[in-house]
Structures are given as C-alpha cells and as structure tokens.
Amino acid sequence: MWRRMIAVLTLAALLTPVPAAQAGRHETVRGWTILSDSDAGADAVIAAARPYRINHLQLSHEIVYDLREVRDPRKQAQTNRLTESAHRAGVKEVAVWDHALYGLDYYPRRFRTGPGGTIDLDNPEFWAWFKQDYRSMLDLVPGTDAVVLTFIETGARVERQYSAKLKTDAEKLAYLVDQVADVVVDERERNLYLRTFGYFPAEIERTVEAIGLVEHRDGIRVMAKAVPHDFFMTHPNDRWVQAIDRPTIIEFDTAGEYNGQGKIAGAWPEEHVNRWRYYEQLPNVIGYTARTDRYGESRIVGTPTELNLYALHRATQSRYLPVDLMYWEYAIKTYGWLAAARVQSALRRSFDIVTSSLYTLGTNNANHSKLDYEPYCSSYHRSVPGKWIDPPVVTVGHDVNRGFHDWIDIVDHLAPASCKTDGILRREAGYVLDNGWVKPGNNMEPAYLDHIVAEKNWSVRQAEASLADIEAANRFLRPEQYRQLKGYFERTLFTVKLHRSVAKAYFGYRIWVRGESFQNPALQRAIWDGLTEARQVAAQMRGYPERAATGEWNWIVDADQADLYYTRISAGWDRYGNVKVPPPS
C-alpha cells in the first residue's frame, strides 16, 4: 500500500508544472558551481549536469578566483576545456569568477597618485588601462558567457581609493561596476553577476545601495547567498534580497563548507528547499546556483550528499512537491525500493546531527568544519546568528529544549575572554558591548556545560541510529553502496563523539580555571571523561580505513586537534595560567 501511495504521489508531482511566475520572467537559472581544480572532479560534475537540467555553471575558487589567473597557461587551458565540455553537456551559460580591484601592486605606479599611494579614481587614463586589461583577460577565455564579480572584500578595495568626485563608498563601488560592465556587457555581450557579501548588516546595506546606483541596466544580475554573511544553517534567510532591483540568483552551499563538506552526514534537502520556497516568491529572483564541492576530490556528485542537488532540482520543477517525497524519490532512485526506507531514515537525521555537533547551542563552532573551539573566535562574534535576528533569540532542541539570547546567554558564556576584545565584536556588532550583553572575562558556568553535554549526547545517539539504519539496509544494497554509506555515517559518528568529548573537556576546563569555588569532583570527572574519550576516539580515527576524499577539511586531522586539546588541558593550558585539573583518584 505504502509503495503504491508513493508512486501515485510521485506521478502527481512530476505532472505539476513549473511555477508560471518563474517561467514568465526568465528561464529559471539552474546552476552549479565548481570550486575544485580537479579535472576528474569537474568532469564528473559536468557529466551529471544534463539530468538535472543545469543551464548555468560557475568556475570559481581553485579554477578561476581572480580573472587575471587565466594568464596562467594551465588555468587558461582548464577553463577553456571545461567551458567547451559544459556547452556540449547542454549548459548554456558558463561563468568565471573575478574580484576587483586586485592588490594595489597589480596596478602601474603612475595611477597610484592618491593619498598614501592609493589609486586616483578620477584619472580617466586609469580606467582606460583597466578596461584594456579586462579585454586582454577575456580574450584568453573566449567561450565563457558571464563573469561573477566580487566588488567588495577585495585586495585593493575600491572604496578605500581616492576620488574627489565619488563622495561615498557606494558611489565608488557602483562606478567600478559600470567600468567592468562597459567591457563585459556592452562590448562582449556577456552577463555580469554582482556577488553580494557582508560581515554585518551595514555592509550588506551599503552593497545593496551601490547596486542601486549602477547605471547599466541590461546584462547586470546579482548573486546573493541564501543566508547573510556565510553558509551557517542557523542563520535566517537574507532579507536584503527583496530590496535588490535586479534579476537575482541565490547561491546555495550544498557541499557544506562549515557543515562537514560532504565527508559526514550532509544531506538536508529541507534546509535548501525551505529557503528556496521563500526566495522563489520574490519577483526579482530568477534561479539559483549550488556549490558542488569544497576543493580537492570533495565533490558531492555520486555521494549521499547529492540529495541536496536533487532536492533543488525537484523544487524548481514543482513548487508543491513535499520534501518528504524528495527523500523517498532519491532513496528509491539511487538505492532501490528495498533499501529506500532505511536509507532515507538515516539521511533524514543529517541536519540535526550536524547542527548539534558542529554547532553548539545554535552557533557554529567548526572552523570550516574542523574541530576548533579556541582560539578560533568567529564562532563568538562574526558567525553568530544573533547579528541577523531581531530580537536575537534562538530556540535549541536537541534535548536542551529552551530559548537563548544569542549574546547574553550564548556568547557571554561560551566565548573565551580574548574573543570579546579582539576588535571584531566592537567593529561588527558594537551595540552588543554598548548594551552590556557581553561582559569581559571568562564567564563559562556549570549550567551551560550541562546544556552542551546534553546536546552532544543527543547528537551521538542520532548518529548511532543512522548507522544502525544502514546496517539494517545492508542486505538490500550493492557492496559499493553499503561501503560508501557505512563510511559516511561511521565518520559522522567518530566526528560527533570527538566533538562531545572535546566540548566536555574544553568548556568544563573553562569553568575549572575560574577558581576553587567552581572546582568539585563532578566537574573534575566530566573534564577527565572528556579527555579520555577524546584520546580513544582520536586513536580509532587514525586506524579507520575510510577517511574520506581530499578537500579543505582534512577529516583525520581532527584527531590531532583532539590530542592538542588533551595536551593543553591535562598539562595545564598556558593561556589559562597553567591551571591543572588533577585526574580523579
């Protein structure tokens, strides 16, 4: 009966037309972005593009991060080969990335006549040189169809250059875009995508203002991330997208830069589809692009994390297709009817597993997915969801089941003292300090350790349940499928156990060093339980054969990180006055 029901629902979904609002404005942009310069990886991604009806491909990061890199014969050859390959696969638009301006040293000294050796933006000879430089670079990649331009967060930030005519940062940014558009759009008849970015709301507002000042109308599009700042799953949607008066595509990180990078449980269609459902209703949004890797051989095509790409594909086909059905469709298509129930059950826990392990009480504390509670400070100021939420209150489940003020509760207690005074919190969220929401010093308390341990224990149980589902599906899977899924969820279990153990020891130690009034046998045991488990799990990881593909996050290095925390805490961490915790008797 249940199989027949799924078949009927699937047929109904397939017959649901593409939303008319999307189809009437533009052909929906269905894009993928390749970051890695692995030829084998790029070829695999392009080969998978046609069934997903991908019509837009971005070549970025390790392939072309700055357009000037195409002067490197290897990068030039790779870019042209991949562009041609993508066109043959039916991709209509291939885009390369660029950042402008480059570092000051890139530009001839004769143009750096402003105060402090800055570029004189009022000098027409500079812009003539700039445009000719752009032409020469584009000549090297003639088959490409678009440029994705980051015009903020660049080497020689244009807003820091001299001009008597351009009075504001937004005017300088807009003027730069118009000069690029003169070549890319007017002369070469290619699309120019303006990539938004900001570390705090005022930066994004300035970028949106600058886009509004750009004089070119046709050929200028915008690419905005699905979340403000960076790809954290507890961040809200980017509310500034609706203020952009340009055709806009939404950038999704389906490969999980901060969320496991495809090496551990990372298939969460609800995360991407729910956000897309919001954006597809905005009149300026014309499509999306999804990142397919995080360097090296970390591509998600051909792995369980490919479910994220499948879900976005199906979401653009039908506005009404339930996410639950996407799980079933993908599991049946990929693993067969008999294994589907257990596999989709295992995959469904991915979001909660990662947001309770690589995140602590709602805030990501994994430095590009790696184990790094301290000294990595971004977790406690730059990456805090509360920067983008008003009021900055979050609800945490995961056996914690209560609300927290992101600053008063989470940051003030979890942040090391040094992360409160490094300047970034004052610069990017100074109101937090002005309001007294975050106080100086190490304010970690036992109640917050209890919350953290409860959350991490819950995470371990979820990972164990998913691994049990894969074991139960074993007899219905092909050997290579079972091996891949087993490795996927075993690495997940190692990871969440490692985070549990180190979090218990680290945050417990932060309480211990506050003085004798905080020191008691229960805390002593908790710290040493964490240290002991960390060492055990690290040793097991080193002996584990399925270590995952290469990429930015080297999964096995987390074992070394765990050992580092063991050494710091067991020997007395110099950062905390070399205070030691005696082993329990």
* Domain residue spans of the chain: 17-319
- Residue 473 exposure: Cα atoms within 13 Å on the Cβ side: 31
User: What does the pLDDT read at residue 77?
Assistant: 98
Q: How far apart are CA 550 and CA 21, in angstroms?
A: 41
| ∠ CA 284-286-291, rounded to 5° | 120
Cβ-count burial of 1 within 10 angstroms (0-12 exposed, 13-18 middle, 19+ buried)? Answer: exposed
Residues near 167 by Cβ (< 8 Å), separated by ≥ 6? none
- At 30 the three-state DSSP class reads strand
Q: How far apart are CA 428 and CA 438, in angstroms?
A: 14
DSSP structure string for 517-580: GG--HHHHHHHHHHHHHHHHHHHHHHT-S-----SSS-TTHHHHHHHHHHHHHHH-BGGGTTB-
Q: How far apart are CA 124 and CA 418, in angstroms?
A: 46
Amino acid at 88: R
Q: Kindly report the backbone phi and psi dihedral angles of residue 291, in degrees, each rounded to the nearest multiple of 5, phi listed first.
A: -70, 135
Q: Kindly report the backbone phi and psi dihedral angles of residue 555, in degrees, each rounded to the nearest multiple of 5, phi listed first.
A: -55, -40
Q: How far apart are CA 406 and CA 266, in angstroms?
A: 25
Residues near 12 by Cβ (< 8 Å), separated by ≥ 6? none
Contact 292, 262 (CB under 8 A): no
Q: How far apart are CA 87 and CA 59, in angstroms?
A: 13
Q: Which fold has domain 17-319?
A: TIM Barrel (3.20.20)
Q: How far, CA to CA in Å, does 273 sit from each of 253, 277, 316, 392?
A: 12, 6, 9, 24
User: What does the pLDDT read at residue 24?
Assistant: 42
User: What does the pLDDT read at residue 27?
Assistant: 87
User: What does the pLDDT read at residue 6?
Assistant: 52
- At 145 the three-state DSSP class reads coil
Strand partners for 249 = 223, 287
Residues near 390 by Cβ (< 8 Å), separated by ≥ 6? none
Query: How far is it between the farthest Cα atoms of the chain?
Result: 77
- At 317 the three-state DSSP class reads helix
* Closest-CA residue to 544 (of 554, 556, 553): 556
Contact 355, 396 (CB under 8 A): no
Contact 405, 395 (CB under 8 A): no
User: What does the pLDDT read at residue 326?
Assistant: 98
For the record, the structure tokens of 537 come out as 């799990």
User: What does the pLDDT read at residue 241?
Assistant: 98
CA 375 to chain centre: 21
R_g of the chain computed on alpha carbons:
25
- At 286 the three-state DSSP class reads strand
Tens place of pLDDT for every residue, the chain, 585 residues? 355 445 534 544 444 444 433 434 568 999 999 999 999 999 999 999 999 999 999 999 999 999 999 999 999 999 999 999 999 999 999 999 999 999 999 999 999 999 999 999 999 999 999 999 999 999 999 999 999 999 998 999 999 999 999 999 999 999 999 999 999 999 999 999 999 999 999 999 999 999 999 999 999 999 999 999 999 999 999 999 999 999 999 999 999 999 999 999 999 999 999 999 999 999 999 999 999 999 999 999 999 999 999 999 999 999 999 999 999 999 999 999 999 999 999 999 999 999 999 999 999 999 999 999 999 999 999 999 999 999 999 999 999 999 999 999 999 999 999 999 999 999 999 999 999 999 999 999 999 999 999 999 999 999 999 999 999 999 999 999 999 999 999 999 999 999 999 999 999 999 999 999 999 999 999 999 999 999 999 999 999 999 899 999 999 999 999 999 999 999 999 999 999 999 998
